[in-house]
Chain A
Amino acid sequence: MTSGGRQESASERLERAVGVVLRAGVTTSTVCLAVGAAWALATGESGPARVLLQTGILVLLLTPVARVVVSIAQYVSERDWPFATLTTIVLVELLASAVAALVFNKRL
């Protein structure tokens, strides 16, 4: 450890990347939901309000997915294969839910 600032460890890099994704997702979805809800209350559920609400919900649902994707990328770049594999399994489980959602929605 030197005075010039120590090397950031792999786990610190991962935490920072995950923090950025979560913060961006929460901020974006909260803003969309707040503006969408206010708009809907003011004018009724008009087109733009509906789009904002749907976007807010989708960003909210996709934030944990994005966090998993970023983690996989980090583990791969660290060549941490066991954890890259485990995290990929989590992503596959989330995709299975998305596929089930599309099946229920009769889009597939």
Chain B
Amino acid sequence: MPVVTASLASIIFTAGVISGSLGALLGLGGGVFLVPFLNLVLGFPFTAAAAISLTTVIATSSSVSAGRTGKQLINMRLGMLLEVATAGGSFLGGLTAQFVAQSVLQTLFGVVAAVVAVIMLSRLRRRNVILDPGASPGVLGGRYYEEESRTTVTYRVKRLPLAMAASFVAGNVSSLLGIGGGIIKVPILNAWCGIPLRAAAATSAFMIGVTATAGALIYYGRGQLEPALAAVAVLGVQLGSWGGMRFGAAASSKWLKILMAIVLLVVAVMMFVRGGR
């Protein structure tokens, strides 16, 4: 574990601000940027990087979801059901991370970063589900008021087993690699399970707090979480995501997505190189 100094703390704080704001602008958690920075640039052990990143995921999930309650945008019933799968996956991932070599985690991170980059590029033009306003949402579906279009959006959940499987995998990857896992769940929930993008993103952001906690507790117990460094990372990410959400609406996200996809592909290659040694 690295020695905590004022300069290291300020570097990590800055990294937190950048990943938090990028995360908010791109609609992902910042973990996918923070973990490679801590591991590849600062040379932290992969597990220490993942542990710090998971605490920032929890903080982001809690503060973003707290601000969204009362709008019916978070589908709590669906979220609680899918959490059964994500928390289980995350628990197993946290255990697995303790027993596999760092090179395996790096290679896996490389794969996930490449997949995330491809997903990001393939979703430059977001598509939304076509909705029948008269439909009944059923037990798990939802209904919320969309301010821009001034309509009430109603949706039903389709292909629940697929949603559960995606959540399990997302939870597993989350605590193995220290990322939120929303990037895996949200496109699947949106494209195949009938959930509008906004509701899928809000529900995923709500769930990842529980997902990341199941993993972070294990890292914490193992002594892989340095509180002082986690603290500055959390504060940085909180500030960054607040700024990103406040000023992000004005920014065009298309070029940003392309840029970040390129960054992620570079990260993927670096992780492959390190992992392959």
Which segment, of B108-116, B207-215, B262-270, faces chain A? B207-215
A103 touches B235 (CB 8 A): no
Q: Mark A52-92, 1 if CB is under 8 A from B, else 0.
A: 01101100110111011001000000000001001101100
Q: Among the listed B69, B81, B98, B218, which residue makes an inter-chain contact with A19, where contact means beta carbons less than 8 Å apart?
A: B69
| Closest chain A CB from B65 CB (angstroms) | 6
B210 touches A90 (CB 8 A): yes
Q: Mark B23-66, 1 if CB is under 8 A from A, else 0.
A: 00000000000000000000000000000000100110111011
Which segment, of B88-96, B177-185, B243-251, faces chain A? B88-96
Q: Among the listed B59, B77, B94, which residue makes an inter-chain contact with A29, where contact means beta carbons less than 8 Å apart?
A: B59
Q: Is the interface of A mostly helix, strand, loop or mixed?
A: helix
Note all chain A residues with C-beta closer than 8 A to B216: 61
Question: Which single residue of chain B is at the shortest CB-CB distance from A75?
Answer: B80
B160 at interface by CB-CB < 8 Å: no
Q: Among the listed B77, B80, B210, B232, which residue makes an inter-chain contact with A37, where contact means beta carbons less than 8 Å apart?
A: B232
In the complex, A87 Cα to B78 Cα: how many Å? 11
Q: Among the listed B63, B69, B95, B234, which residue makes an inter-chain contact with A100, where contact means beta carbons less than 8 Å apart?
A: B95
B217 touches A18 (CB 8 A): no
Supposing A45-B4, A100-B95 touch, asked if A22 and B69 sit within 8 A by C-beta, the answer is: yes
In the complex, A60 Cα to B219 Cα: how many Å? 14
Q: How large is the interface on A (under 10, 10 to 19, 20 to 34, 35 or more residues)?
A: 35 or more
Q: How large is the interface on B (under 10, 10 to 19, 20 to 34, 35 or more residues)?
A: 35 or more
A94 touches B221 (CB 8 A): no
| Closest chain A CB from B14 CB (angstroms) | 14
Q: Among the listed A45, A86, A100, which residue makes an inter-chain contact with B228, where contact means beta carbons less than 8 Å apart?
A: A45
B133 at interface by CB-CB < 8 Å: no
B1 at interface by CB-CB < 8 Å: no
In the complex, A41 Cα to B63 Cα: how many Å? 25
A11 touches B66 (CB 8 A): no
A64 touches B213 (CB 8 A): yes
B231 touches A33 (CB 8 A): yes
B223 at interface by CB-CB < 8 Å: yes
| Closest chain A CB from B16 CB (angstroms) | 11
Q: Among the listed A12, A14, A26, A96, which residue makes an inter-chain contact with B62, where contact means beta carbons less than 8 Å apart?
A: A26
B228 touches A40 (CB 8 A): yes
B209 touches A67 (CB 8 A): yes
B74 touches A15 (CB 8 A): yes
Question: Which single residue of chain B is at the shortest CB-CB distance from A19?
Answer: B69
B176 at interface by CB-CB < 8 Å: no
| Closest chain A CB from B97 CB (angstroms) | 11
Hey, which bits of chain A sit against chain B, CB under 8 A? 11-12, 14-16, 18-19, 22-23, 25-26, 29-30, 33-34, 36-37, 40-41, 45, 50, 53-54, 56-57, 60-61, 63-65, 67-68, 71, 83, 86-87, 89-90, 93-94, 96-98, 100-105
Q: List 30 A-B contacts (CB under 8 A).
A: A11-B77, A15-B74, A18-B76, A19-B66, A22-B209, A26-B59, A33-B234, A53-B231, A57-B230, A57-B231, A60-B59, A60-B62, A61-B58, A63-B62, A64-B58, A64-B61, A68-B83, A83-B81, A86-B84, A90-B210, A93-B84, A94-B217, A97-B215, A97-B217, A100-B91, A100-B217, A102-B221, A104-B221, A104-B223, A105-B222
